[in-house]
Amino acid sequence: MAGHKNHTELPDTPDVLAFNDAYLTEFEAALAASHSAGELVAAMKQKFPQAGLDRILSFTAARFFPN
């Protein structure tokens, strides 16, 4: 169920879902404050260094800040 996990075998417990909620809330705030894909990625990695999935984050950021 939860998408931002380092390993698929991790359980979908309430704490994982709470983490996803916090991640998405912070993503929206970082998106509003960022001027480029690089800024958005850096902000999210600073707030959630354990989230992993860097490739997906970079892809998503690029969609909001196309060249």
**Tens of pLDDT, residues 7-65:** 677 777 888 778 888 999 999 999 999 999 999 999 999 999 988 778 999 999 999 99
Q: Is 4's pLDDT higher than 60? A: no
Residue 8 is predicted with a pLDDT of 72
Token reading at 43: 């902000």
Largest CA distance in the chain: 38
Q: Taking CA 56 as the corner, what is the angle to CA 2 and CA 51, rounded to the nearest 5 degrees? A: 55
Residue 20 is predicted with a pLDDT of 83
d(Cα 58, Cα 1) in Å, to the nearest integer?
21
Residue 18 is predicted with a pLDDT of 86
pTM score, whole prediction: 0.81
d(Cα 57, Cα 62) in Å, to the nearest integer?
9
